[in-house]
């Protein structure tokens, strides 16, 4: 654990339950090189306050629970009509089971299985929906893997994947009217995405930059989401504590952009996003166990007629195990990259 060996797979552009957390593939900083892992992650994203009316956004609006809603599935007469009520908010929560397995020394396979819990409150009426979200599978290849050269390390990972339409997108109210796309637990679309992640470090200081692009299809109702991009940057520092514990405090920047929902291939003007967030992170490692945290607040939010971005929070616990054998050997490991 003395070397700063990172697999910082972040910002994959995955849309789990909503377009409101484009950067859904946060994996955290890890000092373990070529170790498979599994983890349990919780993500919280909150929107509230109408900028055009001078309302400020709050990370914890009144009566909002960041981890679990009061009711998993409940409709209290909800209607999706924004009229400037200062108590309006949208909260998106995901509890996600994640697994990573190295098929070869440079090739990793990831799978994410989310449980989605969304809450939307407009004009005092609240809607809660919960259930299995859209499962994501992705692969990353380590083009550059310079582990240790005079205190300098670098790694370049490129990859892509697919989000599968496993989550429900047909939920309706008592009158049989279908809820809006972002109030479903799934999108009903099969989406593809690609990403590139570069990590560089010098002794204990490191920088990770990840950019991703996502392209969505249309669902059975001809709904979809416009292409989206996300960029994440993290400046981190390694702090060893004894022989078994390492701390990684970091400053994290996140930028996301999408033109929002589409219907029959045309933009509807709903849920366009152009946001930048900044905040601290702290990752803790004890032997093969990990705790990853991230907390970000907005530094720029483009004006829309919807509640504004108020921040995001990520918490994860994980376990990594050393691999000594791979399913894929010669074809990949003999490639002549750095």
Look up residue 214 and give its two tokens: 């996502």
H or E segment and range at residue 333: helix 330-333
- Structure-model confidence comparison of residues 20 and 43, the more confident one: 43
Chain segment 162-177, per-residue pLDDT in tens: 999 999 999 999 999 9
Residue 201 has pLDDT above 80, yes or no: yes
Strand runs labelled E in the chain: 35-48, 74-75, 89-102, 107-122, 125-132, 136-149, 152-163, 191-202, 205-215, 223-225, 228-237, 239-241, 245-258, 261-263, 266-267, 273-286, 289-301, 309-322
Query: Which residues does 92 contact at the CB level (< 8 Å), separation at least 6?
Result: 17, 18, 20, 21, 43, 44, 45, 46, 116, 118
Chain segment 301-337, per-residue pLDDT in tens: 998 888 999 999 999 999 988 777 888 865 444 444 4
3-state secondary structure of 148: strand
Look up residue 272 and give its two tokens: 């366009």
Chain segment 106-163, per-residue pLDDT in tens: 899 999 999 999 999 999 999 999 999 999 999 999 898 876 666 788 888 999 999 9
**Given the DSSP bridges, would you call strands 107-122 and 89-102 parallel, antiparallel or unpaired?**
antiparallel
Chain segment 81-99, per-residue pLDDT in tens: 889 999 999 999 999 999 9
Q: How does DSSP classify residue 60? A: S
Is residue 194 a contact partner of residue 212, using CB atoms and an 8 Å limit?
yes
Give the number of other CB atoms < 10 A from CB of residue 287.
Answer: 11
């Amino acid at each position: 654990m003395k070397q700063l060996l990172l697999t910082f797979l972040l910002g994959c552009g995955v849309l789990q339950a909503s377009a409101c957390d484009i950067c859904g593939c946060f994996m955290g900083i890890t000092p373990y090189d070529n170790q498979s892992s599994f983890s349990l992650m919780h993500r919280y994203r909150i929107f509230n306050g109408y900028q055009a009316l001078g309302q400020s956004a709050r990370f914890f609006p009144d009566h909002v629970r960041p981890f679990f809603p009061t009711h998993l599935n409940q409709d209290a007469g909800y209607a999706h009509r924004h009229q400037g009520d200062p108590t309006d908010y949208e909260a998106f929560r995901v509890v996600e089971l994640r697994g990573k397995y190295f098929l070869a020394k440079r090739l990793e396979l990831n799978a994410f299985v989310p449980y989605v819990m969304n809450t939307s409150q407009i004009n005092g009426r609240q809607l809660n929906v919960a259930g299995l979200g859209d499962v994501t599978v992705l692969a990353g290849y380590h083009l550059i893997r310079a582990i240790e050269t005079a205190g300098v390390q670098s790694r370049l990972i490129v990859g892509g994947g697919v989000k599968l339409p496993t989550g429900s997108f047909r939920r309706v109210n008592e009158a049989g009217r279908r809820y809006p796309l972002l109030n479903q637990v799934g999108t009903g679309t099969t989406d593809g995405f690609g990403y590139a992640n570069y990590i560089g470090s010098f002794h204990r200081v490191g920088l990770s930059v990840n950019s991703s692009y996502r392209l969505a299809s249309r669902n059975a109702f001809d709904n979809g989401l416009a292409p989206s991009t996300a960029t994440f940057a993290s400046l981190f520092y390694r702090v060893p504590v004894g022989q078994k514990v390492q701390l990684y405090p970091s400053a994290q920047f996140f930028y996301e952009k999408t033109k929002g929902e589409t219907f029959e291939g045309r933009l509807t003007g709903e849920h366009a996003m152009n946001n930048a967030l900044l905040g601290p992170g702290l990752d803790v490692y004890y032997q093969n166990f990990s705790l990853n945290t991230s907390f970000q607040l907005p530094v720029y939010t483009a004006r829309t007629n919807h509640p504004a971005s108020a921040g995001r929070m990520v918490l994860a616990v994980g376990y990594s195990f050393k691999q000594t054998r791979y399913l894929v050997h010669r074809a990949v490991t003999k490639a002549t990259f750095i």
